[in-house]
Amino acid sequence: MIGKYTEELLRENQENFIVPAENVATLLYSHPLEHALLILSKVGYAKIPVLDTEDRLVGLIGLSDIVNKMMGLTGFDYRLLEGLTVADVMEVNVPTVLHKEDLEDILHLLVDGSFLPVVDEDNIFEGIITRKEVLKSVNHLVHELERRYTIEPKSVPLKNK
* Contact residues: a second copy, CB under 8 A: 1-7, 10, 34, 37-38, 40-42, 44, 46, 63-64, 67-68, 70-71, 75-78, 107-108, 110-112, 114, 131-132, 134-136, 138-139, 141-143, 145-155, 158, 161
Q: In what order do the strands lie in the sheet with 57-62?
A: 27-28, 47-51, 57-62
| Residue number with CB closer to a second copy (99 or 132) | 132
Q: Could you tell me the smallest distance in angstroms from the CB atom of residue 123 to a second copy?
A: 26
| Residue number with CB closer to a second copy (54 or 71) | 71
Contact 59, 91 (CB under 8 A): yes
d(CA 137, CA 103): 12
| Residue number with CB closer to a second copy (122 or 153) | 153
The torsion of the CA quartet 18, 59, 26, 137, rounded to 10 degrees, works out to: 20
d(CA 145, CA 10): 10
Q: Could you tell me the smallest distance in angstroms from the CB atom of residue 124 to a second copy?
A: 27
| Residue number with CB closer to a second copy (4 or 100) | 4
